[in-house]
């Protein structure tokens, strides 16, 4: 049974191009399936999360991270009696707009665009993908997703001001997104914070003592595991401790969001939309712990000397390729040369690069920038 404030499929604002209902799948289930079957979704398998395949092929990539976020999101949504089909679709599509080489790639692409008076935002790029770039249907361009999924793509992690983004006017920028969308940025954080601790430990870049000093609940969990399993290998004790951190984040998000909804007197979806602030959140104590984990990862993993070379490579490859195609647009594929006739060339190049996988952009770099 859905909560009164959940999004109901039958009340969806519908698709840009009307379609008859499916015999046995709801509209949000169809959206989920369209995302899964898209080319952009498949490309996530070859896009870096934190560790590229040059480092190891055992660690998370964008696709496996997305699957983990989907699982976390469905679990939390079910406990809050939200629309799990909508949440799953949003979780699966939330990273579809990321370029190659992880956050280093996004930073480099944004920097290249700003040199020409533009910018890159992976949420807005994801909307372009599902609205325009995916070509699977004869009746329309894009995936023709429901309004609620398109709204969640751009609003799940931040609020866009109507004056700065008039092109997004249809997405109710003066209102909060539904709780189903509000959850995604938080479940994303749970997913990558715990996964990056795991991969960092597996890569021998993070040590148990090091994590224990900065993540107090991890230290508590590790000591508890040592008492219960005194002969277990360190890796299995690490897993037990990380499970406790994971459970603490998930359980707190469920309970705190439920309490905030009750305290705000929310009784309907419209109440959620009219709320002065987002209702999905961690409690103050756990939010502080989350910030500690994130700061620890930035200081000890993301900007570690071991990964610095890959970051430099990513920025160089994207920057030099972008500059090359600005000078030699005839080297772009035919379809992108055609697009440059009615769209700014920097935007066309950005669209091309953002859709690439790590291996493909490396091949393009060898072809055009390493004669």
Please name the residue that has the structure tokens 């609620």. 148
Note the pLDDT of residue 58.
Answer: 80
pTM, to two decimals: 0.95
**Separation between Cα atoms, residue 168 and residue 160, nearest integer Å:** 8
pLDDT tens for 76-97 read 999 999 999 999 999 999 999 9
CATH numbers and ranges of domains, the chain: 9-308 (1.10.3210.10)
Name the burial class of residue 313, with classes exposed (0-12), middle (13-18) and buried (19+) by CB atoms within 10 angstroms of its CB: middle
Please state which of the ranges 50-54, 129-133, 177-181, 243-247 shows the lowest mean pLDDT: 50-54
Q: Which residues contact 45 (CB under 8 A, 6 or more apart)?
A: 61, 62, 63, 357
Please name the residue that has the structure tokens 């107090």. 216
Q: 218 near 241, Cβ under 8 Å?
A: yes
The pLDDT confidence band at residue 335, using thresholds 50, 70 and 90, is very high
pLDDT tens for 221-255 read 999 999 999 999 999 999 999 999 999 999 999 99
Structure tokens at 95: 């990273």
286 to 45, 105, 282: CA distances (angstroms) = 31, 30, 6
Give exposure, 42-80, as e/b (b: 16+ Cβ within 10 Å).
Answer: ebbebbbbbbbeebeeebbbbbebbebbbebbbebbeeb
């Amino acid at each position: 049974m859905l909560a009164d404030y959940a999004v109901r499929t039958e009340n969806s604002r519908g698709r840009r191009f009307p379609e008859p209902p499916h015999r046995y799948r709801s509209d949000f289930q169809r959206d989920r399936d369209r995302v899964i079957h898209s080319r952009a979704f498949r490309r996530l398998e070859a896009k870096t999360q934190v560790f590229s395949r040059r480092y190891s092929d055992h660690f998370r990539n964008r696709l496996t991270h997305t699957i983990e976020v989907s699982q976390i999101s469905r679990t939390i949504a079910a406990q809050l009696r939200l629309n799990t089909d909508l949440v799953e679709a949003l979780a699966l599509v939330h990273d579809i707009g990321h370029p190659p080489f992880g956050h280093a790639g996004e930073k480099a692409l944004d920097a290249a665009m700003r040199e020409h008076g533009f910018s890159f935002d992976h949420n807005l790029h994801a909307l372009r993908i599902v609205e325009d770039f995916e070509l699977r249907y004869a009746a329309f361009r894009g995936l023709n997703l429901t309004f609620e999924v398109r709204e969640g793509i751009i609003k799940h992690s931040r609020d866009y001001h109507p004056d700065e983004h008039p092109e997004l006017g249809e997405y109710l920028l003066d209102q909060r997104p539904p709780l189903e969308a509000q959850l995604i940025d938080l479940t994303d954080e749970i997913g990558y914070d715990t996964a990056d601790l795991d991969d960092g430990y597996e890569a021998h870049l993070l040590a148990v003592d090091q994590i224990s000093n900065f993540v107090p609940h991890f230290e508590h969990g590790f000591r508890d595991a040592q008492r219960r399993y005194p002969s277990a290998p360190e890796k299995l004790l690490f897993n037990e401790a990380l499970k406790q951190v994971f459970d603490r984040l998930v359980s707190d998000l469920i309970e705190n969001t439920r309490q905030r909804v009750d305290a705000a007197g929310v009784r309907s979806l419209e109440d959620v939309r009219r709320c002065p602030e987002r209702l999905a959140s961690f409690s103050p104590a756990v939010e502080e712990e989350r910030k500690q984990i994130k700061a620890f990862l930035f200081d000890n993993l993301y900007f570690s000397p071991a990964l610095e070379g890959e970051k430099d490579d990513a920025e160089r490859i994207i920057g030099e390729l972008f500059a090359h195609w600005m000078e030699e647009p005839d080297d772009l594929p035919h379809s992108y040369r055609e697009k440059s006739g009615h769209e700014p060339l920097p935007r066309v190049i950005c669209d091309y690069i953002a859709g690439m996988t790590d291996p493909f952009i490396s091949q393009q770099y060898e072809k055009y920038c390493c004669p």
